[in-house]
Structure 1
Amino acid sequence: MIADQRVLALIPARAGSKRLPGKNIRPLNGKPLIAWSVHAARRSRHIDRIVVSTDDPVIRDIALTAGAEAPFLRPATLSGDEAGTAAVVAHALDQLQDEATWLVLLQPTSPLREAEDIDGCLSLAWHRKATSALSVTPLDRPADLLFRLRRDGGLSGMTGAGLAAIHGQRSQDQSQLFVLNGAVYAVSIPWFRHSARLFDDATLAYEMPPDRSIDIDTSLDFRLAEILMAERHMRPDGASFSSLV
């Protein structure tokens, strides 16, 4: 709970993945990918219940072994590439009929998020009396160095700020952008039921460092996550994290 308000964690994990087949159950440093999200949720100071929404009996069994609940299987209509996350959340809430006030949505493709990130994002929303907060990370390069590729093979944006950046503008003088990293969404359930949205223009941003913000979509992402996870477990402070896995 946070104050006297109950917190529900939902981990959506479907079976299908075109770029990296079977990624949610693929072993990452000795554990299925989804297990890392379950274990981070278990270490949270505020989460009261952890539920996995999946269409796959194999994922359900892994979730149960890791310490989550999986009381239903998601229908096929909510398991394809076209299924929106908000629809998956609404289905889970209808199935669970839980009395929680807050929802924490944790994508299984963010295995490097820690419990402090979950609690920090949720606490930010609660203390600021916001309806939602989500995790972000700084873009790994200045916005002025981003260009579009034209049909003729040239670059659009090679003037103005973009040109100045290429010709030596100091990086600290270039504009900084943030991107959603998909690791944590903290949402007021009453607000979600009214709006059917996970965020809007009033949503607050919880900043996470890049080394905890890997969102696995490709085999390269997975390899990078393996390297970072291995380094984490080699640190003296990694023992407490690995004790649950």
Structure 2
Amino acid sequence: MAKIVALLPMKAHSARVSGKNFRVLVNKPLFRWVLDSLVSVDEIDQIIINTDARDILASNGLVDGFGGGKVLVRDRRPEICGDFVPMNTIIEDDLAAVEAQAYLMTHTTNPFLSAGTIQKALQAYGEAVEQGTADSLFTVNKIQTRFYRQDGSAVNHDPNVLLRTQDLEPWFEENSNLYVFSKASFAATNARIGGKPMMFETPML
């Protein structure tokens, strides 16, 4: 596959959990778990960290060239900083600055995303693009269970016909683990999920 760039946006402030990206999980900062997985994937040529927290990252040992030269830290432009800036705006800024044939995007809040899952997703994306069956990929949880509305009415099943849950129509939940796309697919929808996406099921934890 041609050049692949991973995007790992990271900001200093978090609205819900203060400094969450840098809090220690087991024995290292949260961001390092997924970053270490990205670094270990040979198919990924470069990792871009778009951030307003260069100093905090540096104090945690993360500088340009980290990971055998793979990591590039990009200072987030002031006009796209803040809690209410859409993630697609951050991605668009990176795409304008860094050329690649494919972009993989994930979050620091995915510490259990393994290198193996990343590699399988990249392979599935590459095959789908080559076959013309998809222009992008996003990860999902497959769910087969009985859903109800707030008023108690059934959503996806007939309570009078008690099918086994494994026989119910599966629903798929976007889980924000991983997105793979091209500059062209992003431009078509102005989003990381293109106009002809494929869903990639990841293990439930």
Interval of TM-score (by shorter of Structure 1 and Structure 2) = 0.7 to 0.9
1:161 equivalent among 157, 160, 182: 157
Change (3 A) 1:59 1:204: farther
* d(CA) in 1 for partners of 2:88, 2:109: 17
Counterpart position of 2:63: 64
SS in structure 2 at match of 1:180 = strand
Residue 25, structure 1, aligned to residue 29, structure 2: no
So what's the TM-score if we normalise by structure 2? 0.84
1:94 equivalent among 93, 96, 100: 96
SS in structure 1 at match of 2:73 = coil
2:141 equivalent among 118, 122, 137: 137
Displacement of 1:201 = 4.7
SS in structure 2 at match of 1:77 = helix
* d(CA) in 1 for partners of 2:95, 2:56: 19
SS in structure 2 at match of 1:161 = coil
Counterpart position of 1:180: 174
Change (3 A) 1:93 1:145: closer
* Number of residues of Structure 1 aligned to a counterpart in Structure 2: 196
Unmatched segments (≥5 aa) in structure 1: 149-154, 212-245
Displacement of 1:159 = 8.4
Q: Spell out, residue by residue over 1:92-133, the C-alpha distance to the aligned partner (whole angstroms, 9 max, x if none).
A: 2233xx331110101111110111221211221211113210
SS in structure 1 at match of 2:166 = helix
Change (3 A) 1:160 1:204: closer
Cα RMSD, aligned residues only: 2.4
Q: Spell out, residue by residue over 1:161-215, the C-alpha distance to the aligned partner (whole angstroms, 9 max, x if none).
A: 36348xx54222333212111111111123324542211451001111112xxxx
* d(CA) in 1 for partners of 2:135, 2:19: 34
Q: Spell out, residue by residue over 1:134-184, the C-alpha distance to the aligned partner (whole angstroms, 9 max, x if none).
A: 111123x61x33322xxxxxx24158836348xx54222333212111111
Change (3 A) 1:60 1:124: same
Alignment of 1:186-225 (within 5 A): 186-211=180-205
SS in structure 2 at match of 1:71 = strand
Counterpart position of 2:109: 109
Q: Spell out, residue by residue over 1:33-52, the C-alpha distance to the aligned partner (whole angstroms, 9 max, x if none).
A: 11111111111131000111
Counterpart position of 1:233: none
SS in structure 2 at match of 1:163 = coil
| Stretches (4+) displaced over 4 A | none
- Residue 49 of structure 2 aligns to which amino acid in structure 1? V
* d(CA) in 2 for partners of 1:78, 1:27: 27
Change (3 A) 1:59 1:36: farther
User: More strand per residue: 1 or 2?
Assistant: 2
Determine what percentage of the aligned residue pairs are the same residue: 23
Residue 14, structure 1, aligned to residue 11, structure 2: yes
Residue 55, structure 1, aligned to residue 52, structure 2: yes
* d(CA) in 2 for partners of 1:107, 1:55: 15
- Residue 157 of structure 1 aligns to which amino acid in structure 2? S
* Contact 1:135-1:206 at 8 Å conserved across structures: yes
Change (3 A) 1:88 1:170: same
So what's the TM-score if we normalise by structure 1? 0.71
* d(CA) in 1 for partners of 2:54, 2:156: 54
